Chain A
Amino acid sequence: MTMSVSAPPAPAPVSAGPFHRYSVHSDARHLLGLEGMTRDVLLALLEDAALEREWLRSGAPNRADLAGCSVMLAFVEDSTRTRMSFEVAARRLGANALTFNAGASSLNKGETLLDTMRLFEAMGAQLLIVRHSMSGAPAYLAQHLRATGVINAGDGMHEHPTQGLLDLLTLRDAWHGEFEGRRLAIVGDIAHSRVARSAIAGLTTLGAHVTVCGPGTLLPADVELLGCTVAPTVEDAMEGADAVMALRIQKERMEGGLLPSLVEYAREWGVNHERVALLKPDAVVMHPGPVNRGVELQAAVADSGRSVILDQVANGVAARCAVLKRCWQACREAA
């Protein structure tokens, strides 16, 4: 018995990768993050959100843009303002909006996230709005569900794209539609903030600058590679900025040994009147809410004429209207 070796398999060029990037990012049925979104798409969404805001303000009756669309609000992590904001937007546009209460759900009986979401798909949900404590959960669902559009309503420490859009809409007003050359200072817990990541992605795409600052324990590794600059002190960050965004400090950060105390934080990093005076004269003060008054934001600053916190909330409904319309249209085109 003899062996010989026949020709090897057809030669192909030696290659690496490609590394796995979800194609779902370029699929308009989904909104997973502002990272990678083009300038044109961002500007179009903002333009549309501004129009929707006029309509919302006018008190006109509900429309039927999303008639026949079942929107499932799957808030696996708790939220009040984002969930209500999406609910208002979906109902105003004529969608059939249902809210999923994770606390009493089969998720607590050991069912996987994907299996639970597949239930909603089987029940006819066409848009799934997901809030989850795990980074990447919406992208994961977008990849694994067949027909449902997935909108990220905040995933772990990753992104919160509709918050990013409402922040952009707020800054568009404050900056008279001009992003080039403008600068936002973000102060606080950058490491755990999905709000910061979406803001950085959106603003850098539109040509604005972002400076971040915060305690060293709350700055993530290589954060400057996201396209922002890191300021050593809150004063350096705010000096001459066109807007400042204070981020919420979670009480758990003290237990994790990341911060000595809230008092120390308020003194060293809190956005107060003296620091606001360092901003450009027409600069605005933002906060994604809910505010810890007297910690990351001095109460008087939160209530001052500089504060646009309630504008942000109103803009949230408008931005979410624009997002729902865009995703629903893409769903119908794909069907």
Chain B
Amino acid sequence: MSTLTLFKNVTHWKTGEKVTVAVEDGVVIPIPRRGHEHARVLEAPQAVLAPGLVDLHVHLREPGQSGKETIETGTRAAAAGGFTAVACMPNTVPVVDTPAWVEWVLARARGAGYARVYPIAAVTQGQKGEQLAPLQAMARAGAVAFSDDGHPIESAAMMRRALEYARNTGLPIIGHEEDPTLRVGGVMNEGFTATRLGLRGLPNAAESIMCRRDADLAELTGGRVHLAHLSAAQSFDALRDAKRRGLPVSGETCPHYWVLTDEAVGDYDTHAKMNPPLRSEVDRAACIAAIADGTIDCFATDHAPHTSDEKARPFAEAPFGIVGLETALALTLTYLVHPGHITLARAIELWTDAPRRLFNLPEVDLEPGSEADLVLFDPQAEWTVEPELFFSKGRNTPFAGWNLKGRVLATMMAGRFTHLAPEVDFEHQLVLPAESQK
């Protein structure tokens, strides 16, 4: 018994046209000719239908840190944010650095079922930067990329070997770009706010120097480098230069870098503490410019849940990271699309087609035959961020109380609704008129 679902009279994310899309047995199908009394019909002319969003950079915290998040709560949060697929980082306890742990994450994700989970495996054993992890075997087990995220690969020689060794797999190495010798105890962006608060700074150059190093190593080895969570103006320049040189280098940035500056730290607000840190207004503007001119290849959230206790520590002792899955789309619409920096279609592309292409994930579109991984959202609907309503275990967001414009109404994975906003109402029966079924 399969249920027919009709997204009736919705706006196509790319063409802007009003369309009706039918889903049955987990895939998009041609609109059936016959009437369907038992169809689930979602009619929302103000809403946009798009392929489900993809987040290439999340921390699901399993194995080992289920107090912060689990694969189940993390993917449930992803669904609430309009995501149907996430790639999860291996800096767990223990580190995902063996094929067995890759398989464990995949098995666990199948049980949770709110989003497709693509494991990212560690580059080096224990993410210690000393010895390569079994990259080929982990790729066969299902890893989609390699990263020591959370830690930089300090040694250029180790990064070189990793790129050479990973070349066979065709998978990228994701760089957490941070020169550890320039980091020395830094807890926020180096600049006026850090000086005012007497906190040790993390300079832009700590990030950009490593971006340039890894671009050169990509040239040397022919291996693919993906630069994670770029924050500094000089890093966007480094990525731009790498592309001009035709190198196999790509890069992502996150919503907080185009919305916030280090001023948000205010008086030691740990909800504005993440690594890389919030930067200056110059960097924020450079981030938007790099998005607008196509330098940035895709968006990601760097969703990093922590417990309230951990974030309630004094600033220097609180962990780095904020949650991002449930605010990402609204922050994209409110701060990039509505002000006119990029079009709606481009913004959605950076959350959908772009990351799927980068990581060779199955393509999704609204045409018959496509996997029915979809998101329906109202770009104009306004809502207030209330962390206590998050599906994530993490409440650590700097956006609590913010009013944002753009709201996820429904998320569907493989034809099954994984999220429905409270205002989506199943009760009213609506029979499709014949003419709209063409």
Chain A interface residues toward B at CB < 8 A? 1-9, 11-17, 19-22, 25, 35, 112-114, 134-137, 139-140, 144, 155-159, 194, 197, 220-223, 225-226
- Report the nearest B residue to A193, measured CB to CB: B198
A135–B315 touching, CB < 8 Å? yes
The reply to whether B314 and A140 form a contact with Cβ atoms under 8 Å apart is yes
| Cα A230 to Cα B403 with chains together (Å) | 41
Q: Which residues of chain B have C-beta atoms less than 8 A from A225's C-beta?
A: 192, 195-196
C-beta contact mask, B199-231 vs A, less than 8 Å → 1, else 0?
Answer: 111010000000000000000000000000000
Residue on A nearest B381 in the bound complex, by CB: A8
Q: B428 near A2 (CB under 8 angstroms)?
A: yes
Contact B382 A8 (CB under 8 A): yes
State whether the Cβ of B241 lies closer than 8 Å to any Cβ in chain A. Answer: no
Contacts of A8 in B (CB 8 A): 378, 381-383, 407, 423
Assuming the contacts A12-B384, A136-B314, asked whether A7 and B423 have C-beta atoms less than 8 A apart, the reply is yes
Set A14, A35, A135, A222: member contacting B404, Cβ < 8 A = A14
C-alpha spacing A214/B196, complex, angstroms: 18
Specify which of A113, A136, A226 is in contact with B268 (CB 8 Å cutoff): A136
Q: Are A134 and B317 in contact (CB under 8 A)?
A: yes
Residues of chain B within 8 A (CB-CB) of A222 are: 191-192, 195
In this complex, the member of B198, B264, B404, B426 whose beta carbon has the largest number of chain A beta carbons within 10 angstroms is B198
Q: State whether A6 and B425 are in contact (beta carbons under 8 Å apart), knowing that A19-B269, A22-B267, A221-B194 are contacts in the complex.
A: yes
Contacting pair B426 A3 (CB below 8 A): yes
User: Nearest Cβ in chain B — how far from A212, in angstroms?
Assistant: 11
Q: Which residues of B contact A (CB under 8 A)?
A: 3, 38-44, 46-47, 190-192, 194-201, 203, 259, 263-269, 271-272, 312-317, 334, 338, 378, 381-384, 402-405, 407, 409-410, 420, 423-426, 428-431
Q: Is the CB of B425 within 8 A of A20?
A: no
**Can you show 19 pairs from A to B with CB atoms below 8 A apart?**
A2-B41, A2-B430, A3-B42, A3-B420, A3-B428, A4-B428, A6-B423, A7-B423, A8-B407, A9-B381, A17-B264, A20-B272, A135-B197, A136-B268, A139-B267, A158-B199, A159-B198, A221-B203, A222-B192
User: Does B316 lie within 8 Å of A5, measured CB to CB?
Assistant: no
| Nearest CB on A from B280, distance (A) | 9
Query: Is B190 within 8 A of A221, CB to CB?
Result: yes
Cα–Cα, bound, A155→B47 (Å): 52
- Residues of chain B within 8 A (CB-CB) of A226 are 192, 195-196
- A157 to B186 CA separation, bound complex (whole angstroms): 13
B198/A197 in contact, CB under 8 A: yes
Complex Cα–Cα for A112 and B41 (A)? 54
Closest 9 CB pairs of A and B: A158-B198, A157-B198, A135-B198, A8-B381, A222-B192, A136-B268, A20-B269, A2-B430, A220-B195
Cα distance, A223 to B201, chains bound together (Å): 13
B423: A residues at CB distance < 8 A: 5-9
Q: Are A3 and B425 in contact (CB under 8 A)?
A: yes
B39, B195, B317 — which one has the most chain A CB atoms within 10 A of its CB?
Answer: B195
| Most chain A beta-carbon contacts within 10 A, residue among B196, B259, B266 | B196
Interface centre among A1, A16, A112 (most CB of B within 10 A): A1
Q: A11-B382, A19-B263, A135-B198 are in contact. Are A2 and B315 (CB under 8 A)?
A: no
* A14-B269 contact given A3-B41, A136-B199, CB 8 Å threshold: no
- B338 cross-chain contacts in A, Cβ below 8 A: 14
Chain B residues contacting A21 (CB-CB under 8 Å) are: 266-267
Using Cβ atoms and an 8 Å threshold, which residues of chain B touch A15?
402-403
Minimum CB–CB distance from A136 to chain B (whole Å) comes to 4
Residues of B within 8 A of A14 (CB): 334, 338, 382, 403-405
A-side contacts of B429, CB under 8 Å: 1-2
- List 10 additional A-B contacts (Cβ < 8 Å) besides A3-B424, A6-B424, A14-B338: A1-B3, A1-B40, A1-B426, A2-B428, A5-B425, A7-B423, A12-B382, A20-B264, A221-B195, A225-B196
A114, B317: Cα distance in complex, Å: 12
A155's nearest neighbour on chain B, judged by CB, is B198
In the assembled complex, the Cα of A3 lies from the Cα of B265 at a distance in Å of 42
In the complex with contacts A12-B382, A19-B269, A136-B268, A4-B404 CB distance below 8 A? no
Q: Which of B200, B314, B315 has the most CB of A within 10 A?
A: B314
A197–B60 Cα gap in the complex (Å)?
41
A134 to B429, CA, bound (A): 61
Contact A9-B42, Cβ < 8 Å, known A20-B266, A157-B199: no
> Across the interface, which residues of A come within 8 angstroms of B384, CB to CB?
9, 12
**A111 CB to nearest chain B CB (Å):** 13
How many Å from the CB of B60 to the closest CB on chain A? Answer: 27
Contacts of A1 on B, CB cut-off 8 Å? 3, 38-40, 426, 429
Chain A hits for B381, CB < 8 A: 8-9
In the bound complex, residues from chain B placing their C-beta under 8 Å from that of A113 are 314
The CA-CA distance from A20 to B265 in the complex, in Å, is 7
Chain B's closest residue to A137 (CB) is: B314
* Complex Cα spacing A135 to B191, Å: 16
A12, A15, A136, A137: residue with the most chain B Cβ atoms closer than 10 Å: A136
Q: In the complex, what residues of A have CB within 8 A of residue B191's CB?
A: 221-222
Residues in A with CB closer than 8 Å to B405 are 14
Cα A225 to Cα B423 with chains together (Å): 48
CA gap between A209 and B65 in the complex, in Å: 52
Cβ B47 vs Cβ A5 within 8 A: yes
Residues of A within 8 A of B197 (CB): 135-136, 158
Given contacts A4-B430, A19-B263, contact A9 B382 (CB under 8 A): yes
Report if A16-B402 is in contact (Cβ < 8 Å); known contacts: A2-B429, A5-B47, A157-B199.
yes
Given contacts A2-B426, A14-B334, A20-B269, contact A223 B195 (CB under 8 A): yes
Residues of A within 8 A of B426 (CB): 1-3
Tell me the minimal C-beta distance from A10 to chain B in angstroms. Answer: 8
- CB of A4 within 8 A of CB of B42, answer yes
State the CA gap A6–B41 with chains docked (Å). Answer: 14
Determine the distance from Cα of A212 to Cα of B383 in the docked complex, in whole angstroms: 48
Which chain A residue shows the least CB distance to B406?
A: A14
